[in-house]
Chain A
């Protein structure tokens, strides 16, 4: 017998004689230990959450968005200034103790207006995402579920709509309808849902083809369990990511429209309107009137983008380790 062997714990060769005779007895096998050997398998959502939390950039975005929401809700209430009250003697005050973000050309408090703008920009973004989601789920779901001719025709319609230049259609609609909170959301969603519908359809088609769905069914697993354990994790990922990315693109589009003079009109002031109103002021040295809304647009876009990326990584079952 050769003695080329190693004690795993000590990492050094051991002589066979060093192993006590007493160890040569049958080990008690317990079934629990047998199963416990394998790594504890986390549920899909827990695992995804763990991966998301580990992604520092995505968490930065997430925390920022949570704070932003809280501020957007409470800051305008707590602020001593009114959003739209002109105070011309106090025009263009630089940031100070009284006006944290300074004042604009009308002497209005930029801090208050920024959080008020957050409400509107977030509202536009979230509503656009929600409506896209709803229409997309219904249209894409129906198309994928029905299949055959129905699917074919519905997809041709999608293809035609997909070819339409999104922002041009939005501009056209707003020129005709006149810009307001409602019409902007309407215009953004008129063709915006197409992307979501495509994704939903793709996911539905995928589900239909999954062998494990059939497999679970044939084992008599409950439908609700199939949906929760198999379908949702495998299909919600891309849809959630798409929603996360719709919000910033809607906020971006609203800012762009503000620039064209088609943004949300007074008394509301979205970030886009605030930034656009102050584009000239930066040259006259009143940088703060542009800086704060522009910073919050950019950082919100950033936050949603990195959160979307993080979610994509976290939710993609292919990449799971």
Chain B
């Protein structure tokens, strides 16, 4: 198990290094980036940039210092708003984005698994078709379209929910619905297909042959095995939800990090884009690492595999 964690940790650090280096290379080599042509920036900004990126040093020194600043969680300045740094924006925006993301994940996992299990148990019956029809729709409709539809129908026409902002639980319902539908649909489909496969396994037949009650067979024998693949795609889902927050926060005017990020893209505020990307990537890569570890704990076979490998 320790070996497994160690190996995953090493891979994680490597991936982090790749993304940090990639941003650095893009910054210094691509023509038109603010590091090569200093047009349109005022002096305060310029001095901020120089101070942060050590622009008067050779590239290699710049690179090392850049790695160091990332390692100490310093994600750099902004060119459009000289008084702000990426860290300031993260401090204000990230907790809100985090809240949105966490609630979304919980909603998506609970509803997706429930839907998938029911669909599998009622295989080829009307519930299955309805659930899967719903899931395919959920996968097919882009979240910005869904968000717009929800606002137009439920907030503007019916006035059930506030149109935008992030103030009370009622404000959260629409953005979370818009953001959770896609992941929920993916989880539901995956749960259904693995559940169907698991249900044909001999150990399920064996459990039935033991005379166990159906709910026991499902909860004890089937569900845990069926959820394994869901755990493995959590990383991908997290990435999808994270990028989804960009869209949802902008549409619903939620003052999270995603909104700042989209604004920085529209304004081509390169240091903010770079800094935020590195931060987000680091966050995701660490999450991916944690998911891998969780998988290792859930599946007893992984421990053996590593033991055997010694």
A–B direct touch in complex (beta carbons closer than 8 A):
yes
Q: Which residues of A contact B (CB under 8 A)?
A: 156, 159-161, 163-169, 171-173, 175-178, 248, 252, 255-256, 259-262, 272, 275-276, 279, 282-283, 287, 290, 294, 297-299, 301-302, 305-306
Contact B139 A301 (CB under 8 A): yes
Q: Tell which of A160, A248, A255, A297 touches B11, judged by Cβ atoms closer than 8 Å.
A: A160
Complex alpha-carbon distance, A290 and B153, angstroms: 14
Contact A256 B247 (CB under 8 A): yes
For chain B residues 110-155, which have a beta carbon within 8 Å of chain A? 136-137, 139-142, 144-145, 148-149, 151-152
Complex alpha-carbon distance, A272 and B145, angstroms: 10
Q: Across the two chains, which residue of chain B brings its CB closest to A172?
A: B277
Contact B18 A279 (CB under 8 A): no
- Whole-angstrom distance between the Cβ of A152 and the nearest chain B Cβ: 13
- Whole-angstrom distance between the Cβ of B195 and the nearest chain A Cβ: 16
A-B pairs under 8 A by CB, number = 117
Question: How many chain B residues touch the partner (CB < 8 A)?
Answer: 46
Complex alpha-carbon distance, A272 and B280, angstroms: 24
Say whether, besides A163-B11, A260-B262, A172 and B144 are in contact (CB < 8 Å): no
Can you name 6 A-B pairs with beta carbons within 8 Å? A165-B280, A171-B265, A171-B273, A260-B266, A283-B152, A301-B141
B12 at the interface (CB under 8 A from A): yes
Say whether, besides A172-B273, A282-B148, A256 and B142 are in contact (CB < 8 Å): yes
Q: Across the two chains, which residue of chain A brings its CB closest to B145?
A: A294
Chain B residues within 8 Å of A272, by CB:
142
Contact A176 B33 (CB under 8 A): yes
Q: For A160, A248, A272, A297, which residue has the most chain B Cβ atoms within 10 angstroms?
A: A160
For chain B residues 94-108, which have a beta carbon within 8 Å of chain A? none
Chain B residues within 8 Å of A306, by CB:
136
Contact A172 B11 (CB under 8 A): no
Say whether, besides A159-B11, A163-B15, A298-B140, A260 and B246 are in contact (CB < 8 Å): yes
Contact A168 B277 (CB under 8 A): yes
B30 at the interface (CB under 8 A from A): yes
Chain B residues within 8 Å of A279, by CB:
144, 148, 251
B8-35 vs A: 1/0 string, CB under 8 Å? 0001101100110011001000101100
Contact B247 A261 (CB under 8 A): no
Contact B266 A261 (CB under 8 A): yes
B284 at the interface (CB under 8 A from A): yes
Complex alpha-carbon distance, A299 and B141, angstroms: 8
B274 at the interface (CB under 8 A from A): yes
Q: Tell which of A163, A178, A275, A299 touches B285, judged by Cβ atoms closer than 8 Å.
A: A163
Complex alpha-carbon distance, A159 and B292, angstroms: 13
Say whether, besides A172-B277, A256-B243, A298 and B19 are in contact (CB < 8 Å): no
Say whether, besides A163-B285, A171-B277, A305 and B265 are in contact (CB < 8 Å): no
Complex alpha-carbon distance, A248 and B144, angstroms: 16
B305 at the interface (CB under 8 A from A): no
- Whole-angstrom distance between the Cβ of A62 and the nearest chain B Cβ: 15
Chain A residues within 8 Å of B15, by CB:
160-161, 163-164
Contact B136 A290 (CB under 8 A): no
- Whole-angstrom distance between the Cβ of B92 and the nearest chain A Cβ: 20
With contacts A256-B142, A256-B144 known, what are 7 further pairs, Cβ within 8 A?
A160-B14, A172-B26, A172-B274, A259-B247, A275-B145, A283-B156, A298-B137
